[in-house]
A and B are shown apart, each in its own frame.
Chain A
Amino acid sequence: MSRAFLGEFEQMVLLSILRMGTGAYGLEVRQELEVAADRKVSRGGFYTTLDRMERKGYLTWVSEVPDNSRRKDRQRRFSVTIEGLAALKSSRRALITLWDGLEPMLED
């Protein structure tokens, strides 16, 4: 079991990539994050988080020019690694454990 825990923003980024399936390009991931999590995401913070998680081995990317894109430059298509998935699961388990029994207190 992975001992690593993810920060809230890191979890959101990884989850957004997973939700995007195979076409997780940077711009789309950020837009998904903004829509799904309903929060404004700073571009600088977003890209440096991607870089950091890549260094940690939680995600990886391939460079390609998308077929059906109006853009003709190379883009990074992101995917979550096995380590990233494990870290997500580990964080989720920890949160569920902590939430357990507290639901009545925290219900609206």
Chain B
Amino acid sequence: MSRRRRGPPPAWAQSLLDAALPMGVVGESIHGDLETEYLDLRGPNWVARLWYSFEAIRIALHYNKGMGMSDFLQDVRYGFRMLMRMPMVSLVAALSLAVGIAASTTMYASMYGFLYAPLPYADQGDLQTLMQIDRATGDKGDISAGNVLDLAARVEAFENVAAWRPVRTTLSSLEEPMRLLRLDATPNVFQVLGRQAALGRTFSSDEGRPGSAGVAVMTHYLWETVFASDPGVVGKPVEVAEREYTVIGVMPPDFEFVPGDIGLVMANTFEDERDNRDGARVVAVTKLAGGATAEQARAQADATWQSMTAQYPDELSRFTFRLETLREQFPGESDARLVQVMLLVALFVLIIAAANVANLLLARAEERAQEIAVRVSLGAGRIRLLRQLLTESTMLALLGGVLGVLLAVFAVAELAAVMPSGIPKAFSPRIQPAVLFFTVGISVGVGVFFGLAPALQALRPNQRGTLSAVSRGGTVGRSRSRIRTVFVVGEIAVALALLAGAGAMTSMANDLVNVDLGLRSEGLLTFRTSGSGERYAEPGALAAFHREVEQELLDLPEVAIMDELPRGRNVRGPEFTIDGREPQEGQEFPRTMMLSVN
């Protein structure tokens, strides 16, 4: 009864067995023995199919133990001759694969740089960042300076804690003042990151205290772009936000912070922010003490955070604390996901190209049916022919891989050139060994996976009979056409998904560019005014400056003044409540945007 219900064994395992066993009655009888046992097997179908597959593989392995390097080299030589026999077909197929492989390689190079490339700091494994997490929203963010100073003093597993904050400022000692991103950082920052200056020196521990002389370390980026790589800049003064600093050193070209367009690093101990526990944040990085593990540090820091929360409940009860590796911080989750999606899209393009080539190989398999039938009738083993055909398709894919890498070199260079200056060079895409390893991997994978169907088709058992059976078509032809249909339908499905995704992205980008702001922006120019530095340190000084600017501008009828551009990035209005609809415990207050205009 069970025999009648049993379906056929897995087709791939049958093909494998066909390919592995000797031809004629020897192969047929072994095949028949296994099938009889399969039909007599008790239990569910899936168990029987699994058993059959397992036994087919074992028998195939027994029958193909003796294949060696010389067979492989022979396959390669023969494969090369076959590719050269139809050079145009081979070239078109390889180029088709090259486009897909180039796209995948480029995206993998971007993803690798973005997610895995090491930061230019020594002992990265020992560096951890200190994060403050909002209990209500789960938002992960930098930490307030007062908390950093407390944790640095109390947690023994922290050997040294550095903190920094990027500040947009003005470099005013040049002929024309320029906007600049500077970093206020604790003097131990370079010690924690394990890097020395290329010229001059980095900070000493007594620099950066309130009232001490201003000193600055210049990044290679600013030294090269603004100071024309002048080695004499060390020891010279620069004026930043109307305060004078002495340049004490220049960092090497590979040293970068995130963001990558920091120009100057100023020493700042943040002592004047000791009481700031839930206000302005800093990036804090710690180097673990020798022998301390991340778990020990985490446990100590958690305990310290709890005692700090008990000490300052008003400021800290909203937050928890977390220690993460430095690399986990960069890039953020959404950016990481974006590059992963882009890689997936590129892989889809590769799948389409590979399915096209598989179709081409199927067509070629038909042309070569007679050749294969002759080789079979002359005694060639089917597993040998299978290996031969797979070697050919893999060689084709590797040729596509080589061409793809050449294309990717240009694409990666173009991509690296248009990276925004804020993205560190360490994150830039580049063709490196890990990327090449990926390319070889996908090339071989494509060659084997998409060469398998045409190869198994070419060696179908029905074909092993006579030459005339091959040329007549019949079952073999129908089966091939079914596989072709699967490839074509698969290609169209993936292409449609990609098209729909591309359409959605294009329309989104269009909407972003052409968004209706509710105003006519043609012919309008905008500019910002700002004041920073000691001149505006006195309370009310900055407001007085803005009033002065406003008075001057009000005389110009064609100038409108507002505190932020409509839909500007910095608009984050005050919180408000609606009577009777106060937010629940843990919920955020709603916010509104407010613009003051003349």
Contact A76 B62, beta carbon cutoff 8 Å: no
B302 close to chain A: CB less than 8 A:
no
Q: Is the CB of B29 within 8 A of A48?
A: no
Alpha-carbon distance between A75 and B25 when the two chains are bound, in angstroms: 7
Per-residue B-contact encoding for A9-33, CB less than 8 Å = 1, 0 else: 0000000000000000011001000
Query: Which residues of the partner chain B approach A44 to less than 8 Å between Cβ atoms?
Result: 58-63
Report if A45 contacts B (CB, 8 A).
yes
Residues on the B chain within 8 Å of A42, using CB: 58, 62
Q: Is B32 an interface residue (CB 8 A)?
A: yes
CB under 8 Å from chain A, chain B span 26-44:
26, 28-34, 36-37
When distances are taken between beta carbons in the complex, the residues of chain A under 8 Å from B60 are 44
A75 and B31 alpha carbons, distance in the complex (Å): 10
**Contact A43–B59 (Cβ < 8 Å):** yes
B134 contacts the other chain (Cβ, under 8 Å)?
no
| Residues of the A chain whose Cβ atoms lie less than 8 Å from the Cβ of B28 | 73-74
Structural contact, A75 and B29, CB atoms closer than 8 A: yes
Query: Is B55 part of the binding interface, using a Cβ–Cβ cutoff of 8 Å?
Result: yes
Known contacts A27-B37, A48-B62, A71-B32: does B25 contact A43 (CB below 8 Å)?
no
Asked if B59 and A47 make an inter-chain contact with CB atoms under 8 angstroms apart, the answer reads: yes
Instruction: Determine which of A27, A45, A51 lies in contact with B26 in the assembled complex, contact meaning CB atoms within 8 Å.
Output: A51
Measured CB to CB, the nearest residue on chain A to B61 is A44
Chain A binding surface, main DSSP class: helix
CB distance from B68 to the nearest CB of A (A): 17
Contacts of A48 in B (CB 8 A): 62-63
A74 surroundings in chain B (CB, below 8 A): 25, 28-29, 32
Query: In this complex, what residue of A is CB-closest to B32?
Result: A73
B386 CB, min distance to chain A CBs, angstroms: 17
Flag if A26 contacts B30 (CB, 8 Å): yes
Residues of A within 8 Å of B58, CB to CB, are 42-44
| Interchain CA distance A73-B60 in the complex, whole Å | 21
| Partner of A71 from B25, B30, B36 at Cβ < 8 Å | B36
Residues of B contacting A27 in the complex (Cβ-Cβ under 8 angstroms): 33, 36-37
A2 cross-chain contacts in B, Cβ below 8 A: none
Kindly state the separation between the CA atoms of A63 and B26 in the bound complex, as whole angstroms.
9
Q: Tell me the smallest distance from the CB of B214 to a CB of chain A, in Å.
A: 80
Bound Cα distance from A26 to B58, whole angstroms: 17
User: Contact at B63–A76, with CB atoms within 8 Å?
Assistant: no
Nearest CB to that of B58 among chain A residues? A44
| A contact residues around B31 at 8 Å (CB) | 73
A63 to B32, CA, bound (A): 13
The distance from the CB of A58 to the nearest CB of chain B, in whole angstroms, is 16
Give the docked Cα–Cα distance between A43 and B63 (Å): 11
- Closest chain-A Cβ to B249's Cβ sits at a distance in Å of 71
How long is the Cα–Cα vector from A99 to B29 in the complex, in angstroms? Answer: 39
Q: Are A63 and B62 in contact (CB under 8 A)?
A: no
Q: Which of B26, B29, B61 contacts A73 (CB 8 A)?
A: B29
Which residues of B are found within 8 Å of A47, using beta-carbon distances? 30, 59, 62-63
In the assembly, what is the distance between CA of A48 and CA of B22, in Å? 11
CA distance A47 to B22 in the complex (A): 11
- Cα–Cα distance between A45 and B33 once the two chains are bound (Å): 14
Chain A contacts of B32 at CB under 8 A? 71, 73-75
Task: Determine the residue in chain B with the shortest Cβ distance to A28.
Answer: B33
Bound: A26/B29 CA distance, A? 8
Q: In the complex, what distance in Å separates the CA atom of A74 from the CA atom of B283? A: 78
Chain B 289-307 interface 0/1 with A at a Cβ cutoff of 8 Å (1 = within): 0000000000000000000
In A43-70, the 8 Å CB interface with B consists of 43-45, 47-48, 51, 63
> A43: which B residues are within 8 A, CB to CB?
30, 33-34, 55, 58-59
Q: Which residues of A contact B59 (CB under 8 A)?
A: 43-44, 47
Shortest Cβ distance from residue A75 to the other chain B in the assembled complex, whole angstroms: 5
For A51, list chain B residues within 8 Å (CB): 22, 26
Contact with A along B1-34 (1 / 0, CB 8 A): 0000000000000000000001001101111111
Q: A51 to B20: give the CA distance in the assembly, Å.
A: 14
CB 8 Å contact bits of B55-91 with A (1 = contact, 0 = none): 1001111110000000000000000000000000000
A75 to B22, CA, bound (A): 14
Assembly CA distance A27 to B36 (angstroms) = 9
Contact B37 A76 (CB under 8 A): no
Chain A's nearest CB lies how many Å from the CB of B139?
Answer: 60
Q: Specify which chain B residues have a CB less than 8 angstroms from the CB of A63 in the assembled complex.
A: 25, 29
Say how far B2's CB is from chain A's closest CB, in angstroms: 14
B 429-453 to A, binary, CB cutoff 8 A, 1 in contact else 0: 0000000000000000000000000
The 10 closest A-B pairs by CB, nearest first: A44-B62, A44-B59, A73-B32, A63-B25, A27-B33, A76-B29, A75-B29, A44-B58, A74-B25, A48-B62
Known pairs A47-B63, A75-B33, A76-B26 / 19 extra A-B pairs, C-beta < 8 Å? A26-B33, A27-B33, A42-B58, A43-B33, A43-B55, A43-B58, A43-B59, A44-B58, A44-B59, A44-B61, A47-B30, A47-B59, A51-B22, A71-B36, A74-B29, A74-B32, A75-B29, A75-B32, A76-B29
**27 A-B residue contacts at CB 8 Å?**
A26-B30, A26-B33, A27-B36, A27-B37, A30-B33, A43-B30, A43-B33, A43-B55, A43-B59, A44-B58, A44-B62, A44-B63, A45-B62, A47-B30, A47-B59, A47-B63, A48-B62, A48-B63, A51-B26, A71-B32, A73-B28, A73-B31, A74-B25, A74-B32, A75-B33, A76-B25, A76-B26
